[in-house]
Structure 1
Amino acid sequence: MTQLEPRDPRRSRGSAVSAEGGEPDRGIRWLRNIGLTVAVAVVLAAVLRALVGPVYLIPSGSMEPTLMPGDRVRVNTSHEQGQGLDRGDVVVFDGAGSLAPYRSRTSLDRALEDLVVWWGLGARSDVYVKRVVALPGDTVRCCGDDGRLEVDGVPVDEPYLGRAVDAGHPASSTQFEFSVPEGRMVVLGDNRSDSLDSRALLGAPGGGLIGLDTVVGTAEDVVWPLGRRGALDGPAASAGEGAR
C-alpha cells in the first residue's frame, strides 16, 4: 500500500494553489502594476501642472482654425477675473448663468469633474474658450460696409478667422451692436458659423455681455498633441488709429 507523505505544516493551501496555477500571484502583480501606473500618472500630472499651469481640453470646433477639438491648451491664470485682458485674447471663462445654465452638483460630482479637468482628460460643460472682441468702454458692431467688425467705428482685422472677410462674406452672419459697460466683455468664437457665444444671448438678460469676474485665464499655447504644439498668437484683433 502506498503511504501518504505527511503534509508540511509550513505550506499553506494558498501557496499550493499559487505554485500550481500562479493565478493569485499574477493577480496581485497586475493590481500592483495598475496602482503603480496610476501613481506615476498622478505624479506626472502634478509636475506638469506645476511647471506649465492648468491645462484645458478643447471639446468642440467653435474656435477653429485656431484651436481644434482634442487640443489641450495651457492657461495663464494671471488674467483671472479679467485682469490685464486685451482685445484679441483667447479667454477661458465660466459660462454658468450666461452661456450655460446653473447646475446643481453634489460635492462628489464636483470633485470627480475637477479631477478629470485637472488631468486634462476632459472638459467642464460650463467652461468656455472664446476670443475677446470688446472690453469695457468699447462699442462693437457687426458689420461695417466691408464686412469687418468695427470697434468704436474703426474696422478690425481678424487674421485668426483663417478666411477672407468682405461685404459678401462678413465676419458674422448675425448682426449685432454692443456697448460694453464696466466689468463686462464681448466674446466670439473664431468659427463664427458654429460657435455659442455673446451673439446667442442677444435679447436675453445681460444681452450677451459676459462678466470679467468669470475669467479663469487666457489660453497661451497648445501643449498637446505634439504635432500642434506652439504658442497662440497674442492680441491679434487690430484696429486702425483712434481705436482703444
Structure 2
Amino acid sequence: MGGSERVTGGRGRLGNVLSGLAVAIGFALFLGGFVWGALVYRPYTIPTDSMMPTVQPGDRVLAERISGGEVRRGDVVIFTDSVWSNAPMVKRVVGIGGDTVRCCAQGGRLTVNGKELDEPYIDDIKADGSGKDSGMASETPFEVKVPEGKLFLLGDRRAASLDSRAHLQEAGQGTVDRSAVSARVDARAWPSAEMLERPRAYAGLPGGVSEPGPLRIQLMAVVAGAVLVVAGAAHGPVARRFGRAGREPARVG
C-alpha cells in the first residue's frame, strides 16, 4: 500500500514539474510572440479607396518595418513624401531604379522593361462608381525611366488613385525616394484577417518579389504559448480530480 502511494506521489510531483514547465515555456512563447510582433510590425489604417480591392478604406493592416533598400516590385508600401502629402500614404511599387515603366501596351497592360504585366489585383471600376472603365491598366499614357534610388508607385484602383502619374511633370517624373518608405504591408488585420499575396507578375523580373515577413511565425508562437499555458494550468485540477476518484472506495449497492 505504501509503495503504491509513493509511486502515485512521484508521478504527481513529476506531473507538477512538467505542468509548471509547460506554463513557463508557454508564457515565454506568448509574450515573446507579442513583443517580437510589436518590434517588427506597426498597425496602419487605410485612409482612402485608392488601393481597392486589395485593401479597403478603414481597413487595419499590419506593416513590416523595413528600409527602402528592402523594397521589391509588387510591394504595397507605406511612405511619406512632402511633395505628395505630409501624411503617410500607401501605394504599390511597380518600378524600381533602372526600370522603364510604360502604359499601355497592346491590350492595355502595363509594361516593365518591355514585359507586359498581368495585374489581377487592380480595380476596374470608374472613379464615380458608375460602372467599369476601359479595362486599361491606366487611362493616362506614360513612359518613365525610373532613376536609381527611386520608386514608381501606383494605386490598385487606377481610376481613383493620385499616384506617380499625377506627378509626371515634376522632377523625377513622379518617382519617390526609396528612403521615403517606412514599412511594407504584410497582412490585413481587421475587419478580416488575411495575408497579402506577392504578385506573381513581378517574380520573373530581376530581383524577384519580396518574401513574406515573420508574421505567421509570430502568430504560431502566440497560439502555441496560449495552448501550453492553458494545458499546464489545467493539469493540477484535473490530476487532483482523477486522484480523488481513484482513492474513493467502490460502493456496493
How does the TM-score come out when normalised to structure 2? 0.60
SS at match of 2:158: coil
* Correspondent of 1:148 among 109, 112, 136: 109
Give the Cα–Cα distance (whole angstroms) in 1 for the partners of residues 57 and 95 of structure 2. 25
Q: Deviations over 1:111-149 (max 9, x none)?
A: xxxxxxxxxxxxxx5211000000011101000011000
**Aligned-pair distance for 1:56?**
0.5
Equivalent residue, structure 2, for 1:88: 74
- 1:55-74 matched pairs, under 5 angstroms: 55-74=43-62
> What's the C-alpha RMSD, in Å, of the aligned pairs?
2.7
CA contact (8 A) 1:143 1:175 kept: yes
Give the Cα–Cα distance (whole angstroms) in 2 for the partners of residues 181 and 75 of structure 1. 26
Matched, 1:131 2:95: no
SS at match of 1:237: helix
CA contact (8 A) 2:124 2:159 kept: no
**Aligned-pair distance for 1:220?**
0.4
Give the Cα–Cα distance (whole angstroms) in 2 for the partners of residues 232 and 137 of structure 1. 26
**Aligned-pair distance for 1:206?**
2.8
Give the Cα–Cα distance (whole angstroms) in 2 for the partners of residues 136 and 205 of structure 1. 15
- 1:1-244 matched pairs, under 5 angstroms: 50=38, 53-77=41-65, 79-80=66-67, 82-96=68-82, 98-100=83-85, 126-163=87-124, 168-225=134-191, 228-238=192-202
How does the TM-score come out when normalised to structure 1? 0.62
Residue 74 of structure 2 aligns with an amino acid whose one-letter code is G
Cα pair distance change 1:72/1:169, threshold 3 Å: same
Percent sequence identity is 44
Any stretches of 5+ residues in structure 2 without a counterpart?
1-33, 126-132, 209-253
CA contact (8 A) 1:154 1:240 kept: no
Cα pair distance change 1:177/1:224, threshold 3 Å: same
Cα pair distance change 1:168/1:68, threshold 3 Å: closer
Residue 230 of structure 1 aligns with an amino acid whose one-letter code is E
Aligned pair count reads: 168
Q: Deviations over 1:130-187 (max 9, x none)?
A: 00000011101000011000111110111111559xx952100001111011110100
CA contact (8 A) 1:130 1:187 kept: yes
Comparing both structures, which one devotes a greater share of its residues to helix?
2
